[in-house]
């Protein structure tokens, strides 16, 4: 299932993308980047930093936005831009929902493009990330 540029309207909503980044995923992220701030995986270090538990790295959440938009787009084109503005920490293992709404549909440089407003909501329904994505359609 792919999005279709000809069917796209401003205000269209992307399917919610549900996930719960766990400790294993966080550790894989740390390993890939070879960066290991202890509050990402050590509950005592997280508590010392003022968090009620270990937290999900912000850059990992950028990739979750990418995945949500990319899965909606399918093979209709490619993601040109994703941005995440981090508002609240998210605790490891807690449910998150990536939501998106088409904000602008336009043509540029001969290609169909769309801008999407993205929000990651925590289990209380609060925005932990406010984001943005832009996609380009092949046809």
Partner 1 sequence: MQDQSLITDAVRALVGRRAVLEPQTVTRRAVQKAMDLYLGHQRGAPEVGEPAPGFVLAALELGNDVEEFPQLLPNSMLISNEWQWERRLIVGETLRSESIVADISERFGGRFGYNITVRREIVLTGADGAVAARSVNTLMYYDPKNARGGEEE
Interface with partner 1 (CB under 8 A), residue total 30
82: Cβ contacts below 8 Å, ≥ 6 apart: 62, 65, 66, 69, 118, 131, 132, 133
In the numeric block, which tokens belong to residue 135?
A: 């996609």
Q: Which residue has the tokens 């046809």?
A: 139
Q: Which of residues 103-122 bind partner 1 (CB under 8 A)?
A: none
Q: Which of residues 7-26 bind partner 1 (CB under 8 A)?
A: 25
Residue (9 or 139) nearer to partner 1, CB = 139
Round to whole Å and give the CA distance between 99 and 131.
10
Per-residue interface string for the shown chain with partner 1, residues 73-102, x marking contact by CB under 8 A: -----xxxxxxxxxxx--------------
Alpha helices per DSSP H over 1-139 = 23-33, 43-48, 58-73
Least distance between partner 1 and beta carbon 71 (Å):
10
- What is the contact surface with partner 1 in residues (CB under 8 A)? 25, 28-29, 32-35, 58-60, 62-64, 66-67, 70, 78-88, 126-127, 132
């Amino acid at each position: 299932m792919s999005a279709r540029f000809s069917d796209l309207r401003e205000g269209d909503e992307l399917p919610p993308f549900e996930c719960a980044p766990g400790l294993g995923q966080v550790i894989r992220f740390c390993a890939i980047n070879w960066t290991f701030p202890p509050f990402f995986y050590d509950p005592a270090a997280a508590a010392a930093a003022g968090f009620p538990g270990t937290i999900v790295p912000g850059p990992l959440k950028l990739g979750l936005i990418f995945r949500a938009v990319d899965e909606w787009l399918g093979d209709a084109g490619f993601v040109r831009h994703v941005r995440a503005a981090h508002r609240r920490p998210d605790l490891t293992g807690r449910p998150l929902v990536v939501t998106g709404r088409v904000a602008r549909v336009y043509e540029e440089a001969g290609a169909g493009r769309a801008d999407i407003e993205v929000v990651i909501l925590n289990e209380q329904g609060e925005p932990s990330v406010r984001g943005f994505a832009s996609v380009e359609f092949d046809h």
